[in-house]
Chains A and B, each alone.
Chain A
C-alpha cells in the first residue's frame, strides 16, 4: 500500500476529481487528502466522507492508519449549493 494505491482508488470512484495527497509521516499510512469533485455538490460533509471511505474500502481497515480528509466542490459549482 502506498499513496499511489490510494490515489488510484480515489480516481476510480471520482473520475473528475482533483486530488492532492500528502504523506504526513513519511510512512505512507498517515495521509492528508484534499479531494475536489462535482460528486460532492449538495452532499453533506458526513456523506462526502462516507463516499470516500467506501471508495477506499479495506484500505481504511489497517493499511491507512490515519486519514485527514478534506472534501471540496469545484469553484464553478459553489453557487448551486445554497
Chain B
C-alpha cells in the first residue's frame, strides 16, 4: 500500500502543538536557516518537536506541497503555518511570535 504522506503530516500536526520541519534535528541543525529558527524557539522557551526532512525524502517533498511553500524550515503552531526562516525572524524581532506563542498556550509566561 502506498504511503499517504499528506495524511501523515496532518496527523503529526494534530499531535504536536509546535512543530518545526527542518534540516537536521533541534540539537544538530544541518542548515543555517533551520538553525536560526531552532535558536529562536529555544530563546522563547517554546517546547517543540523537530521533524528532520533530510531523513525522509517523501516528507521533504510532501511538506512543500502541504504548506504550498517551497522551502525548509517551516514552523507550525497549533496546526497553523507560521512561515519560514525570514518570517519567523521578523515575527520574533517584532515580539509577535512571543505573543502568538503565549496566546496559543505553548509558552510559559513565568520566567
Interface of A with B (CB < 8 Å)?
A: 45-46, 49-50, 53, 60-61, 66-70
Q: In terms of DSSP, what is the predominant structure of the interface of chain B?
A: mixed
A/B interface sample: 28 pairs, CB < 8 A: A45-B83, A45-B87, A45-B90, A45-B91, A46-B69, A46-B81, A46-B82, A46-B83, A46-B87, A49-B69, A49-B83, A49-B84, A49-B86, A49-B87, A50-B68, A50-B69, A53-B69, A53-B70, A53-B71, A60-B70, A60-B71, A61-B70, A66-B33, A67-B71, A68-B85, A68-B86, A69-B86, A70-B86
A residues less than 8 Å from B87 (CB atoms): 45-46, 49
Q: In terms of DSSP, what is the predominant structure of the interface of chain A?
A: helix
What separation, in Å, do the CA atoms of A21 and B75 have in the docked complex? 25
Which B residue sits closest to A48, measured CB to CB?
A: B87
- With both chains docked as a complex, state the minimum distance between the C-beta of A9 and any C-beta of chain B, in angstroms: 14
Q: Contact flags (1/0) for B54-94 with A, using CB distance below 8 Å?
A: 00000000000000111100000000011111110011000
A residues less than 8 Å from B85 (CB atoms): 68
B residues less than 8 Å from A68 (CB atoms): 85-86
B residues less than 8 Å from A60 (CB atoms): 70-71
